[in-house]
A and B are shown apart, each in its own frame.
Chain A
Amino acid sequence: MRRAFRINEAQEGRGGALDFSRGVQRALGPLSAWRRKALLGLCALGWLVGSFGLTSALGATADAPVESAKSTDAGGRAKNPLFPPPPLLPRPTPGPRETLPAVFSKETPTTLEDLRIIEKRVEELVARVSPAVVAVAVEEGTGSGVVISEDGLVLTAAHVSETPGVEVRFTFPDGKSATGISLGTNHRQDAGLVKITDPGRWPHVELAERDAARLGDWVVGLGHPGGYDPQRSVVVRLGRIISQDLGMMQTDCTIIGGDSGGPLFDMNGRVVAIHSRISDSTAENFHVPITAFYDSWDRLARGETWGAAHRRSMATVGAQGVDDAKGFRLEFVQEDGPAYRAGLREGDLLLEFDGQPVRDQAEFLRCLALVHPGDEVSVKVRRGEKEMSMMVTVERRRYRRGP
């Protein structure tokens, strides 16, 4: 009855994954062979954000375009007092580190007494930090996050908050909800900062200092796997740090869609990492080390977004292209898609998108990552000798099959 198991859907979306993996290689430098393989595997599965909680239970696809347009248009952004946010939010100071019982420095626990010490620690810690673990809903997706200041700064994964300036809805474990806004998104390391804007004093936790986590450390992962469930508490997972390097931490705290952005705690109850992605085995759970947040704090606090060309943007104009000698040429324009309706045709050379020059595919993707479904953007193309300008309405990418 002991069988190996491989999923068949892991192949899905591998084209996009390759793109991303190149990005990761650029970001992380040369990777050893097995590491690359692991990354490829996890890329094939994509990000861990769940788009199930808020979508229709009735067979609706996850890409409802209607509401998302409103909350993210440029006008809405300009009106929000927090966008642009204050230039510098104070960098969080790490919480105190106390000396842990000896069992936590052993290779493994060896006695029942060791196990009892771990248990007591974990139970206390879970009770203490759980109230600060929130469900984070942005547009159609839902993930997790953790509050780190009384006024409601929340750490999450960049692929959960997606883009700065977007409305975010939070749900606390006791069912209370709050609204806020997304600040910076570091897509290169998958670190995202969001802020509760409703007035209040929020339950919050402390952070570990940079590089505090050690190989083999016991850690507790919390989050809302599968999205927020009012019948269920925050879900507790225990594990150890299996490896960490180059902006990535691996543990055997099993995580899944909906956990993204949730916190990983050390045995002092301080956040050491944020859940990001998974790969094949139950020991392949990857988290963004807290160091990534310290390193990019000022940019996150200022609401910057970067590394975005490598993520799967939710925006589409229904056109794809290739780089040729002259620039970025549209190779496929979806019939009845936004680009087609605006008058773009296959063979057009794209010159500008949303006022930005486009010289190659990377620039096009970067532009696309910065617009939102519902935005109307100007596009300039060259067709033969003629240059033309038109307005295209950005749509939300749909993954639905069939009619």
Chain B
Amino acid sequence: MKRTQNQGPIRHSRVTAVLLLLSLLTAYRGRAEDQTDGPPSLSEECLKGGAITLRAFAPISKTLRGSVVELQMDGSTVALGAVIDVGGLIVTKASEIKAGAVTCKLASGKEVKAVVIAADDENDLALLRVLATGLKPIRWETREPTLGQWAVTPGIGPTPEGAGVVSAAERRILHRRAYIGVELFDRKKARITRLMPGYGAERAGLKVDDLVLKVNDEAVDNRDDLTRALLRFREGQTVNLRVRRGEREFDVVVALTNPKADDIQPGERRQESMNRLGSDLSQRSEDFELAIQHDSVLEPWQCGGPLVNLDGKAIGLNIARAGRVASYALPAPLVRKAIEKLKAEYQLTVKASAK
């Protein structure tokens, strides 16, 4: 594919006409054949998210014209945004527009100043206000998305930024896994087989062969139970562990921390490096109350705008490029609720400053 990427566009323009003719005569149906090297392959523009395929979605981009904006900082686009109010309210992914002046680029090419008026760290959403005409609020879908339905990411151009399908129903996206710093070689027991130096378990005085019985009153029977019970906690939190050592049982408070790079277990580290293959990931790509997963290959800057169905209605708001197989969107009902809250907060501040 790398090769096709480099040579495809040139070759394509040269041979499209020939190929169209060939398509009538051969079984290849217009599919580009690499004649210099390697077996025949499908041209990159024809892939699910390829440039030619995306042209089929053009009517959706047209419908959404005026409903999506590009947000820029220091001259480069950092996020997309969804217009939610004809008066110039825009919602986007907060962590991409942290500090500094934000410029809003419209479908017309016009650039206007944008002001952040409220932010919701929990959902990573920010509300912006712009002074512009020709804005059109997005329409929200009320039906729940179906697995396998198209999930389209319109930008401000005539064809979308990306297209994919809904990969997984909405679910909670956990935060990064924090460690208490023990190794458990024995699958059938929650028995500590090694303590990692410098982590909470060691500092709390736990020892090799200690058996963990409970995590905050939740009984754990084996390694997977313990692993699962600890997933809920994040760095900086503590857990109360019930521990059996020989004949003795006691309680101990253990702190969780994020693992140092060298301590991440090889399986996780490998998954992490695979996740970054071919994808640049969003800075914040975890810890969301609910998210729909879709398989559109997006860049981090292509998040923040609406994720729409074939009717052009928003099923959610793209919130993160999270891995090789995953882009996340906050589901429409959650975004709408968060927007109402943000608006209310903003009105309170306005009233307060008016007094």
Residues of A within 8 A of B (CB): 1-3, 5, 7-10, 12, 32-35, 37-38, 45-46, 48, 50-52, 54-67, 105-112, 114-116, 118-119, 122-123, 125-127, 130, 214-216, 220, 225-226, 231-245, 250, 252-259, 278-284, 399-402
Contacts and interface: CB of A to CB of B under 8 A. Distances in A.
B277 A231 contact: no
A67 B323 CA distance: 32
A279 B267 CA distance: 17
Contacts of A232: 168-169, 171, 293
B340 interface: no
B224 A54 contact: yes
Nearest to A239: B48
A215 B42 contact: yes
B301 A107 contact: no
Contacts of A245: 39
B164 interface: yes
A276 B342 CA distance: 46
Interface of B: 1-3, 5, 23, 27-31, 37-42, 44-50, 52-53, 55-57, 59-60, 76-78, 146-150, 164-169, 171-172, 177, 179-188, 193-194, 196, 199, 201, 223-224, 226-228, 230-231, 259, 262-271, 273-280, 293, 295, 297, 299-301, 310, 323-326
A34 B41 CA distance: 12
Contact of B185 (A9, A65, A122, A281): A65
A370 to B, nearest CB: 24
A114 B310 CA distance: 11
24 contacts: A5-B276, A32-B39, A34-B2, A34-B38, A38-B1, A51-B270, A55-B267, A61-B266, A63-B266, A64-B186, A106-B29, A110-B55, A112-B310, A116-B310, A122-B148, A126-B147, A215-B40, A241-B42, A242-B41, A252-B47, A254-B297, A257-B270, A257-B271, A400-B266
Contacts of B59: 112
A64 B259 CA distance: 19
Given A59-B259, A60-B193, A235-B325, 15 more contacts: A1-B76, A1-B300, A7-B276, A35-B39, A45-B277, A48-B274, A58-B180, A64-B187, A65-B185, A107-B52, A110-B55, A214-B27, A233-B168, A281-B277, A283-B44
Given A108-B50, A114-B56, A233-B169, A62 B267 contact: yes
B325 A237 contact: yes
B278 A107 contact: no
Nearest to B174: A231
Contact of A64 (B165, B180, B185, B228): B185
Contacts of B56: 108-112, 114-115
Nearest to A259: B325
